[in-house]
Amino acid sequence: MTQAKGTPGDGDLVDDRYDADGKLVVPAHVADAVRTLIEWAGDDPAREGLRDTPKRVARAWKEYCQGYSEDPSVHLSRTFEEVGGYDEIVLLRDIPFQSHCEHHMAPITGKASIAYLPRDRVVGISKLARVLNGYARRLQVQERLTAEVARCIWDNLQPQGVAVVIDAQHGCMTGRGVRTPGVGMVTSRLLGCFLDDERSRKEVLSLMGY
Ligand SMILES: Nc1nc2c(ncn2[C@@H]2O[C@H](COP(=O)(O)OP(=O)(O)OP(=O)(O)O)[C@@H](O)[C@H]2O)c(=O)[nH]1
Ligand SMILES: [Zn+2]
C-alpha cells in the first residue's frame, strides 16, 4: 500500500500505480471494457475523439469511487476534549456531494446535513464532510449512505445524538427511465436523543431547515 499521489485527505491509502506523467495506469482489460460499452452504445471507439476516452473513463471511475480506498472513520480519530462548556447541537448544513447509484451507476447529486450533540468530545467540523465523501464516493443507495454516515459518527464520537438528512436527485430518474427532473429523494437517520426525544428531534430538524 502506498500513499496516493496527489490525492487529498488523511488516510487515503491505495495500491494503484502511476505513470511518468503522474497519471493512474489503466490495465488493458479495463480500457477494453469501456471500449465495448462505447460500441454497445452505438459509437466507434476507434474514432479520434474517442481514442483516449477509455483511459479517461477508467480514471474518472477510480476518482468517483475513491471511497473504497479509505476508511472514513479515520477522519474522526482526532477529537478535542475541551468544548468550553458547549453542550448544544453542532450542525454542518447543506453539504453538497456526489455519489453514484449501485443500480445504474448514474450520478446522485444532492446535499446532506449532518448534526450531532456532543457528549464530551468534538471533532474538527470539516471531518463530517470528509466522512460523507468517504461513503458517497462508492456505488450507493441513498438509504445506506445516510445510515453509514450516521453510524460512523455514532460509533466514533459516542455523542448524545446524531442526525443525518440527505436530499438528492438521482440521474437514473432524471436522465433516463421515468425521467422526472427536479424530483428530490429525502432520507434521514436519527440516533440517540434525536430518535428518542421529540423536542431534540424537532430542534435539529428545524435547524436543518426541515
Ligand atoms: N430506494 C432506492 N432506490 C434507488 C436508489 N437509486 C436508484 N434507485 C431505484 O432502483 C430501482 C431499480 O429498479 P429496476 O426495476 O431493477 O431497474 P430499472 O428497470 O432500470 O427501473 P427504472 O429506473 O424504473 O427504469 C429504480 O426504481 C431506481 O429508481 C436509491 O438510492 N434508493
Ligand atoms: Zn439508479
Q: Which residue, among 209, 47, 14, has the nearest Cα to 115 in the 3D structure?
A: 209
What lies within 8 Å, CB to CB, of 161 at 6+ separation is 115, 116, 117, 190, 191, 192, 193, 194, 195, 197, 200, 204
For residue 113, the one-letter residue type is S
Task: Check residue 110 and report its DSSP letter.
Answer: E
Burial class (CB in 10 A: 0-12, 13-18, 19+), 108: buried
Beta carbon of 142 within 6 Å of any ligand 1 atom: yes
pLDDT given at position 8? 42
How far apart are the CA of 138 and the centre of ligand 1, in A? 17
| 179 ligand 1 Cβ < 6 A | no
Cell numbers for 27, please give them: 490495465
The pLDDT tens digits of the residues spanning 150-181 come to: 999 999 999 999 999 999 999 999 999 999 99
If you measure from the C-alpha of residue 141 to the centroid of ligand 2, how many angstroms do you get, rounded to a whole number? 8
Q: Does residue 173 line the site of ligand 1, with CB under 6 A?
A: yes
The reply to whether 104 belongs to the active site is: yes
Q: Which pTM value belongs to this model?
A: 0.91
Question: Which residue ranges make up each domain of the chain?
Answer: 2-68, 77-208
Topology (CATH) of 2-68: GTP Cyclohydrolase I; Chain A, domain 1 (1.10.286)
111-151 tens-digit pLDDT: 999 999 999 889 999 999 999 999 999 999 999 999 999 99
Do 189 and 204 form a contact (C-beta atoms < 8 A)?
Answer: no
Contacts of 192 (CB under 8 A, 6+ apart): 117, 154, 159, 160, 161, 162
ipTM of the complex: 0.94
Cβ–ligand 1 distance for 168 under 6 Å, the answer no
Nearest to 137 by CA among 115, 163, 105, 113: 105
Cα distance between residue 198 and residue 25, in whole Å? 53
User: How far apart are alpha carbons 51 and 86 in whole angstroms?
Assistant: 57
Known binding residue 104? Answer is yes
The pLDDT of residue 84: 67
193 is in an annotated binding site: no
Q: Which position among 142, 148, 152, 203 bears the catalytic label?
A: 142
Which atom in ligand 1 lies closest to the alpha carbon of residue 101?
A: 6
66-81 confidence digits (pLDDT tens): 999 999 999 999 888 7
Fold annotation for 77-208: GTP Cyclohydrolase I, domain 2 (3.30.1130)
Distance in Å, CA 103 to ligand 2 centroid: 5
Q: What is the mean pLDDT of the chain?
A: 92
Say if CB 185 and CB 172 are below 8 A apart. no
Beta-bridge mates of residue 188: 165
